[in-house]
Amino acid sequence: MQQLIEGFPRQLKEALEIGRKATLKAPGGPYGNVVVTGLGGSGIGGRIAAQLAHKEAKCPIEVYNNYYLPGYVNHKSLVIACSYSGNTEETLAAMDQALAKGARVVTITSGGTMLEVAKAKGLDHIVIPGGNPPRTMLAYSLVQQFFVLHHFGIIGDGFEGAIKTAALMLEHDKEDIKKAAMELTEKLVGKRLVIYSEANTEAVSIRFRQQVNENSKELCWHHVIPEMNHNELVGWAGGDKDIAVVIFRHKEDHARTQMRMEINKGIFEKYTSHIHEVWSKGDTSFARQLYLINLGDWASYYWAEKKGVDPTEIAVSNMLKGKLAEVK
C-alpha cells in the first residue's frame, strides 16, 4: 500500500500515456447527458472527474452507484461504465440497461466480464493495469474519464496539461505532503472523524472517507457546506469531545461559504477541541484537488500503521461478494 500511494504521481503520468494511445470510435453525438456508473474505488474517479469538469461540460454529468440507471438515459446518452476488476455486478447490470436503452457505452476496466462484453459487442473500451486494489488505481480510472469526455466532445483538451503539472507538483512536494499527512493522523487516531468541504469539492471528501474506511478500518462520515448548515449543523447539539473534524479548504471557495465555515468552527468548538483545517495547494483546480486526495491517502495509511492493521485487507467485503455469488 505504501508503494502504491507513493506511486500516485507516476501513475497519473502513465495514465496520460494510456489515454493518448486509446483507440475510440467516431464520437457521434451530440449527447444530451453523461452518466458514469461505478462503485467504490472504481466509481470515485467518475465523481472527481464530473466535479472538475462541471464548469466546461457541454451537458450534465451524473454519477450513479447502483444496479440501475436514471430513466432519462436513451440513445442520446453517453454512459461510462467503470469497474476496475470488470466483475462489479452492480456496474455490469447498469451497463446492460444502458445498452438496452440504446445509449453509447464506453468501458474503463482492467479485464473481467466487462472487457469480455465490450469486445464481444464492439464497445469502446480503455484497458488499465490490473492486479491491485481498485482504490489504489484511482489515477488510471480518473484520467481515462477525461479522455472519454474529451473524445465525445463534452470537454476540451486542457486537462492533459493540468494533470501533468499536478503530477509534477505532487512529486516535488512529496515529503511535505507525507509530513502534513502524518501530523494530521496524529490528531485523528482514537477519534471519530467527520469530514467537511465546500459542495464543489465533495468528491475529495468522499475519497478520504472511503480511504479511512478501507485502509484505516474506521467509521467516519462526511458532509458539505452550505447543505450541512441546513440540517447537520443542528445535530451538533449531540457532538462530543471524541469527534475530530477535518475541513478541506480552498482559497477559491465561495466567499459566503468561507464565512459559513468560520461560523461553523465556532459551533464545533463548543463540543470538541479537535478541529483541523487542511488547505489545498496548487495553481489549478486539478492540482489542488489531487493534492488533498494524495494527502488523505497518506493519512489513511499512517492511521492504519498506528492501529497496527493491514491497510490492504478487505475480508468483510470479499465475504459479502462471496455470499452474493451463491445466489444467482
Amino acid in position 212: V
**Residues 6+ positions from 160 with CB-CB distance below 8 Å:** 16, 146
Q: Which residue is catalytic, options 198, 202, 214, 218? A: 214
- CB of 90 closer than 8 Å to CB of 71: no
**Residues 6+ positions from 244 with CB-CB distance below 8 Å:** 187, 188, 191, 192, 193, 194, 272, 274, 275, 276
Angle at the Cα of 300 (from 196 to 219), degrees rounded to 5? 60
d(CA 228, CA 240): 18
- 223 is a catalytic site residue: no
Nine-digit cell at 29? 453525438
Q: Which residue is catalytic, options 21, 55, 175, 230? A: 230
- CA-CA distances (angstroms) from residue 319 to 41, 149, 176, 211, 260? 18, 35, 38, 19, 42
- 321 is a catalytic site residue: yes
Strand-pair category, 243-249 with 220-225? unpaired
d(CA 158, CA 97): 32
Catalytic residues: 214, 230, 321
